[in-house]
Amino acid sequence: MPSVKMPRKSTDTDMTPFVDVAFLILSFFIMATKFKPPEPLKITTPKSVSSQKLEEKDAIMIQFDSSGKVYLSVNLPKKEDENLKKDFISRLNNDAKLGLSDNEMNKFVKNSMVGSPLNELKALFALPINEWDKVKQKGIPVDSANNELSRWMSAVSQTFQGHPVDIMIKGDNNAKYPEFKGVIDALRFNQIFKYKLITDPRGVPVGSELYKIREAGGKEDQS
């Protein structure tokens, strides 16, 4: 009986359609991707082991850069919280006798990141908001002789009594200890003992006690 010869087919695959598809997908992501806007204040936070990423909203954010300049911002993203921001800056205006007009205080509501001494706020708020980033602010003083952050935090305590906000501290890894101490002193002066430190999270080192606890399904002490 004669054998049947099967026709041989080439095992080569034409990759041209796959290349076209790959370039189409790449083009789509290039056109559709929205890049994260640059932060107004560049801070390199120290690293820490953490299982949670803090959301920087509904918070009073205290930041200090590598040179020790201290900034404060009120991060309340909801539209209805604008009245709280206005109340906050109004309290500070009355307490420190800044002489801010209603229009100037409304600018703080729209852009609430400030890093200037109290006696320079009037000049800062007189500028259009889009020019604030061009001003080299000196930072809020936190030294032992003149800790103006205490007055800011006093206004925080009075304004946000019935509104849950987190006090967050975000300091540069290269900042000096005196600035950090000045921030903590301002909080303690106003009986604020609960706050959160923002760091750069990293994985738990293999073999560490925390690693063993998580591997066993336990929970570490969060205190």
Whole-structure pTM over 0.85, yes or no? no
Average of per-residue pLDDT values in the chain: 80
* Mean pLDDT value of segment 180-193: 93
Q: How far apart are CA 187 and CA 167, in angstroms?
A: 9
Predicted pLDDT at 151? 95
Helix, strand or coil, per DSSP, at residue 113? coil
Residues 6+ apart with CB under 8 A from 31: none
More confident residue, 159 or 33: 159
Residue-wise pLDDT tens digits, 87-139? 999 999 999 999 999 999 999 998 878 999 999 999 999 999 888 888 889 99
pLDDT for 199 beyond 50:
yes
More confident residue, 60 or 206: 60
